Amino acid sequence: MSLDAFLRDLFDDGRVVVPSPEGDEGAGELAAAGVTLDEFEHGWRLEFPGMAPEWRRDVALHGARLLYRAAQAAVFRDIDETALRSGFDLVAPADLENASAHYSIDLALRFLPDLMRITQGAAAKDPLVELLGTLACRWPLSSVGVPRAVPASIDVIAGHPGLLRLYVDRVLGSHDAARLADERVVEAARQALGAHADLAPSLSGLITRGARP
């Protein structure tokens, strides 16, 4: 299954089959995957809460390749550590500290929590678990609901109304109390729930009190 086919299956029904790792994706495969990402983002943007950030195909493709390789590593557990780490060692696009980057990479990486649940039985020092954990901390919008994924910063997300709304929706939907350690998230959650704190009963106490978990 090519990267393009992987993405189409992932976006259509969330069920994928991955081939054994065979090195870098070819130029044609990357181009086809980029078109698929463009197509899906067009519909995704229509559902975004408010004005979506600028779309960056290069960042989205970077995230898609990371997810694809992580999925391969999760299935084919006999990959040696050197090859595993090499597969994740992709040259990242420039200028990733902005709303556009967080929005674009999330198109594929929002499936990261699902992938991490597949590896939850692995040892904490498993290199794949380590690499996925690093991704989860680096991209907080995409990792809501992942246990022990402590974001280095959510400043970019908090600075964009639409991203913050999406982030809070995911926090509430996944009951991720750890993400309420940031007062900006607490306040946004309070505004989102209004008088309906009962919609998130496990978090309502933290939200109404503004307390840290």
pLDDT by residue (tens digit) across 9-38?
999 988 787 877 777 888 999 999 999 999
Q: Is residue 203 part of a domain?
A: no
Q: What is the mean pLDDT of residues 35-50?
A: 95
23, part of any domain: yes
The pLDDT score that the predictor gives to residue 211 is: 44
Are 109 and 67 in contact, with CB atoms under 8 Å apart?
yes
Q: Which residue has the higher pLDDT, 138 or 192?
A: 138
Copy the structure tokens of residue 80. Answer: 């040696």
Domain membership flag for residue 160: no
Residue 121 is assigned to a structural domain of this protein: yes
106: nearest Cα among 62, 146, 74, 153: 62
> Which one is predicted more confidently, 212 or 163?
163
The number of C-alpha atoms within 13 Å of 26 and in the hemisphere containing its C-beta is 5
Tokens linked to 73:
């590593």
Residue type, 151: P
Q: Per-residue pLDDT for 128 more than 70?
A: yes
Is the predicted pLDDT of residue 201 greater than 70, yes or no? Answer: no
Distance CA 161, CA 142 (A): 16
Tokens of 99: 């709303």
**Is residue 195 situated within a structural domain?**
no
In a domain, 58, yes or no: yes
Does 125 or 66 have the greater pLDDT score? 66
State how far the Cα of 187 lies from the Cα of 183, in Å rounded to an integer.
Answer: 6
167 part of a folded domain: no
Residue 116 placed within a domain: yes
pLDDT attached to residue 152: 84
Enter the DSSP assignment of 20. P
Residue 107's domain spans which residues? 3-145
pLDDT at 196: 53
3-state secondary structure of 160: coil
Query: How many independent structural domains does the chain possess?
Result: 1
Average pLDDT, the chain: 87
- Angle CA 172–173–179, to nearest 5: 45
Rounded to two decimals, the pTM is: 0.88
